[in-house]
Amino acid sequence: MPLWAAVLFAVSAAAAPQKGWDWRETTTPHFHILHQAPWLPQGLTIGVERIHSRLRMDLGVFSPWMAKERISLYVYQDSQAYLEGEFSPPAWSNGIAVFGQKAVAIPTMKDPAQMMRTIAHETTHLLFVDFFQEKKLTPPSWLNEGLAMVEEAATRDKPETSVWYQHMVGMSAGSWIPLESFFKISPKDLGNNQASVEAWYVQAYSITLFLVKKHSNLQFKSFCSQLRDGKTPTQALWLVYRCRRISDFESQWKAWLADPAHQRRVAALASGQKDAGDQPEGKAASPVPAFGHFSNGRGFKSGFSSSSDGR
C-alpha cells in the first residue's frame, strides 16, 4: 500500500445546515467528506485515502466506478447528531452505508482507529452490495458481513490485529454452525440469543477470510458472480472451488482453522496491538462485553442501507 505523503483537499461551507450545525466539506481525491465539526480528526483525510487504495485493490473488480467517482462521507459531531441525522440510523449503530447515494455516515469517535475500521466496514458494504444490486439482488448476509469485517483490518496480510480474528482463534470447535444451516440464516433468524448471534458473526468472518486468503481473487470474484447469477452456495462451490458438497468445503475450512499458525499469530501480538474498540463521542459509557464494540452491518429499510453496531 503506498504511503500518502500528502492529500490535497479543499474546505468550503456545506450546502445546507442541519439542526443548528453548519456543515463543512473537505474534498480528497476519492471522498467528499461532509463534517459538522470545524476540523476533522487528525489523520482522517490520509486515512480514508489509504482505505480507498486498499479497497480498490481488494474490491475494485466489484465496483469499477470507485476509480472515478467520489464517495460521500458524512461525519457527524457526535452520536446524538448522527442518530438524529437525515439517514435515521438505528439507535444501536455506529455507522451506515447509504447505497442509493454512494455515501457512508458515521459519528465522530474518541478513537481514530475505530473510525477507520468503521469507515472501511461501511465502504465495503457500499461497494459489495452495489455489485449485487446491478441485478436487483442483495448478497448473502454471511458473505456481505464477512467481507466487511475482513476489510476492517488495515491489511489482509496481518489479520491477527483484528478482534474478529482473535475471537475466531478463541472459538471452541463445538460453537461453529454446520454450513448447511449457516448459509441459510442471518442474525435476525437467531432472535435474542446473543451468544448465537456473536458466533454467527465470527463464523461469517472466518469463512470469508478463508475464501480470500486461501484462494485467488479471481476465484472469489467468480464465486460471488455465481451467487449473483442465482446459483446456490452448493452450485457455486462446485463451479469455482470444485467442492461437490458443502461438507467437503466445510472440511477444508475446518482444516485451515486447525492450523496452529493462527494461535501463534495472536500469541505474538503485543497487548497494544489488539483491537479494543471504542464508543462514539457523546455515547454514554457502559460496561463493554466481549462483542460490545463490533460493527455488524445489519441491513434495514429493504436493503437500501446497512449499519454498524456500536453497542
- Percentage with pLDDT > 70 across the chain: 80
Ranges assigned E (strand) in the chain? 10-13, 24-27, 31-35, 71-76, 93-98, 103-107, 299-300, 305-309
pLDDT of residue 289: 31
Q: What is the pLDDT averaged over residues 248-263?
A: 96
Instruction: Render pLDDT for 9-63 as a digit per residue (tens, 0 to 9).
Output: 333 333 333 444 579 999 999 999 999 999 999 999 999 999 999 999 999 999 9
CATH of the domain at 19: 1.10.390
Q: What strands, in cross-sheet order, belong to the sheet with 299-300?
A: 10-13, 24-27, 31-35, 71-76, 103-107, 93-98, 305-309, 299-300
State the total domains in the chain. Answer: 1
Q: Which residues are 105's β-sheet partners?
A: 74, 96
pLDDT-wise least confident of 12-16, 119-123, 190-194, 264-268? 12-16
- Whether the pLDDT of residue 286 is over 70: the answer is no
Domain of residue 300 covers 10-309
> For residue 18, is it within any domain?
yes
Instruction: Render pLDDT for 151-198 as a digit per residue (tens, 0 to 9).
Output: 999 888 889 989 999 999 999 988 999 999 999 999 999 988 888 999
> For residue 5, is it within any domain?
no
Instruction: Render pLDDT for 7-16 as a digit per residue (tens, 0 to 9).
Output: 333 333 333 3
> For residue 45, is it within any domain?
yes
- Whether the pLDDT of residue 282 is over 90: the answer is no
User: Alpha-carbon distance 305 to 288, whole Å?
Assistant: 26
**Could you tell me if 91 and 85 are in contact, meaning their C-beta atoms sit under 8 angstroms apart?**
no
Q: Which residues are 72's β-sheet partners?
A: 32, 103
> For residue 3, is it within any domain?
no
pTM for this predicted structure: 0.84
> For residue 68, is it within any domain?
yes
- Could you tell me the three cell numbers for 225? 458472480
> For residue 238, is it within any domain?
yes
- Whether the pLDDT of residue 302 is over 60: the answer is no
> For residue 195, is it within any domain?
yes
Closest by alpha carbon to 73, among 124, 123, 11? 123
> For residue 51, is it within any domain?
yes
Q: Which residues are 104's β-sheet partners?
A: 73, 97
